[in-house]
């Protein structure tokens, strides 16, 4: 399986099947999924907290460290899929609409090479 061949629908179906096989749907309310997502993002952030960029790059060359990053990112992605389902959102449509909105807020001519919020662009 790879990003090139796996669809969001297929990943979502796998996440839902995993949840349903364990009878966890009653616990997967939007509030709880959002809080679980925040907790998992926190665990991902812990992997880089207080580290210099060079240290993180070195860790990413180590397979076991790289696997920890992959696991945390996968936890985040699974919760995003479950939350989208709980909210009855089409994730692909939501991402496409947000990218379009961001394209208007961050026009290339003003934002290229800038790390500023759209309200600060000249």
**Can you give the pLDDT at residue 46?**
97
Q: How far apart are CA 111 and CA 11, in angstroms?
A: 33
- What are the extents of the domains in the chain? 1-89, 90-122
pLDDT of residue 121: 86
Averaged pLDDT score across all residues of the chain: 96
The predicted model scores a pTM of 0.90
* Architecture of the domain made up of 1-89: Orthogonal Bundle (1.10)
Q: Are 91 and 12 in contact, with CB atoms under 8 Å apart?
A: yes
Band (1; pLDDT cuts 50, 70, 90): confident
Q: Annotate the chain with three-state secondary structure.
A: CCCCCCCHHHHHHHHHHHHHHCCCHHHCCHHHHHHHHHHHHHHHHHCCCCCCHHHHHHHHCCHHHHHHHHHHHHHHHHHHHHHHHHCCCCHHHHHHHHHHHHHHHCCHHHHCCCCCCHHHCC
């Amino acid at each position: 399986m790879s990003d090139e061949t796996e669809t969001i629908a297929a990943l979502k179906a796998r996440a839902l099947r995993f949840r349903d096989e364990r009878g966890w749907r009653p616990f997967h309310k939007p509030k709880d999924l959002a809080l679980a997502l925040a907790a998992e993002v926190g665990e991902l952030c812990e992997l880089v907290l207080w580290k210099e960029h060079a240290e993180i790059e070195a860790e990413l060359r180590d397979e076991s460290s790289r696997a920890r990053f992959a696991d945390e990112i996968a936890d985040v992605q699974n919760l995003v899929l479950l939350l989208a389902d709980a909210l009855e959102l089409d994730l692909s449509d939501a991402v496409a609409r947000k990218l379009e909105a961001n394209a208007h807020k961050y026009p290339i001519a003003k934002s290229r090479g800038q790390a500023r919020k759209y309200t600060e662009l000249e």
